[in-house]
Amino acid sequence: MLWLIALAAAFTVVAVLCIDGKAIDHKLARGLAGHRQDSALDLRELFACKPLLIFGASVTLFHFANAAMLPLLGEKLAQNHPGGESLVIAACIITARIIMVPMAFLVGRKADCWGRKPIFLAGFIVLPIRGVLYTLSQDPYYFVSIQILDGIGAGIFGALSYLVIADLTRGTGRYNLAQGAASACWGLGAALSNLTAGFIVEQTSYNAAFLFLAGVALMAFLLFWFAMPETCPSY
């Protein structure tokens, strides 16, 4: 797997080198359009944007709840079905990816007419459902089927998070900075997820960890539902 990742990275470098730099509208790429065409927004003004902070907090909670679920499932399978856990986890990952691709395509087609918020809420709500469902059975086929929900959430977040940040930073010239800051927060949430869930498993059980993560995911859903405004320009 490590060699395959290195090979994929090499192909990515080649693809980037094939991009014609002159074809890039750098102002548009930075979100510098409209009434602020000559200068980027001051950083204090950018991070005082309440919807941007709410979005970052909501999605950070989502990643905190999501990141540890599949690793915990692998550990649980290793205890209950020794020798077959790698195959089941591989099937879980493939199932999620198969669902993720058409879901991302659907989101890209419908994000403007359906709005960002209703689609994102669907992505949020599948995570607490996943966390609860993981506690109800020990059957490997059951776990693989649950990954359909993971594919739905991944497809929505993978396609829509960039659009929401673009909506919130339009005209500021700070799109790339906001995207990088958001990604750093999400990565921190994912790292803390594994640390916290691992501690809960050691102190109690796998089911307790899954339910805790489901509770955090529900908090993210409620925060986004009640505090996050619609960002689509057509709304």
Check residue 233 and give its pLDDT. Answer: 83
Q: Say if 97 falls within a structural domain.
A: yes
Domain limits for position 147: 55-227
pLDDT tens figures, 175-195: 889 999 999 999 999 999 999
Q: In CATH, what number is assigned to the domain containing residue 179?
A: 1.20.1250.20
Question: Buried b / exposed e across 100-127, counting CB within 10 Å, b at 16+?
Answer: beebbebbeeebeeebbbebbebbbbbb
Mean pLDDT of 129-154: 93
Inside any domain, residue 72: yes
In a domain, 174, yes or no: yes
- Mean pLDDT over each residue of the chain, to the nearest integer: 90
Rounded Cα distance between 123 and 157, Å, is: 7
CA dist., res. 21 & res. 129, Å (int): 44
What is the band of 19 on the pLDDT scale with cuts at 50, 70, 90?
very high
CB 174 within 8 A of CB 30: yes
SS3 labels along the chain? CHHHHHHHHHHHHHHHHCCCHHHCCHHHHCCCCCCCCCCCCCHHHHCCCHHHHHHHHHHHHHHHHHHCHHHHHHHHHHHHCCCCHHHHHHHHHHHHHHHHHHHHHHHHHHHHHHCHHHHHHHHHHHHHHHHHHCCCCCCHHHHHHHHHHHHHHHHHHHHHHHHHHHHHHCCCCCHHHHHHHHHHHHHHHHHHHHHHHHHHHHHCCHHHHHHHHHHHHHHHHHHHHHHCCCCCCCC
180 part of a folded domain: yes
Give domain status of residue 127, yes or no.
Answer: yes
Block residue for tokens 């395509």: 105
Task: Give domain status of residue 31, yes or no.
Answer: no
Alpha carbon distance 8, 76 (integer Å) = 30
Whether residue 21 is contained in a domain is answered as no
- Pick 126 or 77 by higher pLDDT: 126
- Percent of the residues in the chain that have a pLDDT greater than 90, as a whole number: 69
**162 within domain boundaries:** yes
Q: What is the pLDDT of residue 27?
A: 78
Per-residue pLDDT for 3 more than 70?
yes
| Closest by CA position to 66, among listed 219, 203, 205 | 219
Q: Looking at the 3D structure of the chain, how many domains does it have?
A: 1
Whole-number Å distance between alpha carbons of 99 and 149: 8
